[in-house]
Structure 1
Amino acid sequence: MTMLSATQNRAFLPINADLINNPAYQHLSNDALMLYSLYQQRQQVSAYHADNDNPTFVDEQGVFVYFSNEEAAKILRISVRKVSSLRSALIKCGLIHVVRNGLKNFKIYVNQPQETPADVELILPWANFSFEKPQVTNTQVDANVPADFAPTEKQILPINQSNSKQSKLNITSETNESGLKDSVVIDEQPKPKDPVSLEKTAVDSLMNRLSNMISTQVAGRVRILTNNSYKEAKALFDMIFKAKSQVTNRLFTSPTWMYDDAATKATRFETNNVMTKGLESALLRISEALFKQNNVIKNKERFMYVYLRNFMASAVQNFLNDNYELSEDDQIDLKLLMNFSA
């Protein structure tokens, strides 16, 4: 038995290639794709029963499945809260439709993904490739299938194609043979930069390092608040992350949230869009308060820190409430944890 035939005899959980190729689904995580595939596979079982005169899983809306979040969490080895979040993402994409049935059960209707537009460059161009041997000699090769996956009678490739190509451009330090014999390299001394330009470059570097966590709008507000001063901009960012760290530490003191994936997402700029988008508004309000009450606020740094900390706590609480199905006890516990005035 060949390796391929042995593989084909195993059971798999297939993932529709349109979920990967179609830009409409590019924001879905791997866990979301796996969850959808579980729903789709279960739907096929329901359809099988319907075809064999068992209408248990069919109603006026079509074929449906019963698949609890607890069951999916056990299969995918993730928390129930995360399954709830993934299911919400699938609903927003139109991949599933969920209807409550009784107090605890939900009917899940699984829809087919949208076909990938013809003008989109495929990420998985070989998804429809067949490993069956061609029946005719003159086969036509699909233009979307890479050459190394196209079925041909005989195909010879170098052992290491990248090394083969690289050998043509091989340059050694001993010979210094680059093929550009006529090139002339001029060693120019850089002109000294003025202090203002140097500080602006330093601020730009600071913003660039934090670009994966803060938005362009937030960077602009920080520049205005600190008058493009590197020292003040860094101090403000340190204050922002210190406030976020205090909120994170408070949340993780609770056994309910200590090892929870939802809590981790809620306390990170990269995953909590409420925190990312709301930070600009928080900085605007701080600027307004400092302008209007400049003579009233005695300790400006303390005022800014408390405001930022309370904003972070509110953003964490809103993110968890909006994206997860929290029990009443979880909501009470979260509200107490995020109340720093108590």
Structure 2
Amino acid sequence: MPSAPLLCCSQNTTMKQWVTNQDGLDKLRLVDTPEPSQLNEGEVLVKIHCVSLNFRDTEVCMGLYGHHKTITPGSEIIPTSDCCGSVVKLGPETGDSGLKEGDRVVSIFNQTHLTGQIIEKDMASGLGLPLSGCLTQYRVFPAYGLVKVPSYLSDEEAACLPVAAVTAWMSINSFQPIGQPIRGKDKVVVLQGTGGVSIAGLQVAKALGLTTIITSSSDEKLKRAKELGADHTINYKKEPNWDEAVLELTNGRGADVVLEVSGAQTLGKSFRCVAFGGLISAIGYVSGKLDAADERINANVLALVRNVTFKGIINGPKDRFEEVLRLYESKQIQPVIDRTFEFEQADEALKYLFSGNHFGKIVVKVQ
């Protein structure tokens, strides 16, 4: 028999949260709403300390994220998926969660994706759409949708991990059993751009001893990537045939893994510079969703030529999140934060993310 809900806050107490009707980055609203008043079985009340932003969040706010059939266009939602907070209250039947009041926790992206390959029903549990997200002062989570934070990480750093670190980890190790990541300087990873996932990928790859090549249109950003340990850098504005540069750097062999974050405008080159039998991890499409006018991508032929695996990466399960956290803790990896905004500036933070001028992650301090 289900336990009675646990009262956790006065219904007369209000909190602030950002909402969007998916109608533009200039139309987000900061509103007052009642704090959560009860917890059901298996639920946990979390006080949100920090939120980090992902490109996906800008699409949600602009009504461009159409990957969920359950979402009504224009419906109101709290955006963002990545947060760090502290446990305020535990509801009934949470004793086996390992959580206690005061624990620092981070959210997992798809709340029901706990192990193995993602299945379609897990997509209905995505934070920031289709579920309301984390840009709020308090939020109720299922206990299984939270992971404890390693003590060495600040709240701001921990908030950067749910999407960027897990996606980077899965992009490099999606076919490796838990506890057996690929390692060694003979393994090459190409990282496109200098956003959150790419920089997390650089840090993860270096922690595993892999050789890294990073691309960007900014010499200044490439210099910073070198300081983080990138073995090779390519400015694709100066070297538009960057795929040929990758082949030259690898003596014609190509890269074992390509983190493909740009999309249609770069996919053809990714196919041409991946090693025989290599992996292209399809993560994003920041360059757009349509191919260049002068190049139709014949993916089946490109995949056959080099026996390539082309795999979509939608983050990863909770157990792989806990796995990469162990790597972060063992190597004391500190996520790279470009800029931190106050809670009242969250709309400006999203606009800054959309501008593409950042290097690493953007964080909003909630409280």
TM-score calculated relative to the size of structure 1: 0.20
Larger relative contact order (Cα-Cα within 8 Å, sequence gap ≥ 6): 2
TM-score calculated relative to the size of structure 2: 0.19
Higher strand share: 2
Query: Which of structures 1 and 2 has the bigger CA Rg?
Result: 1
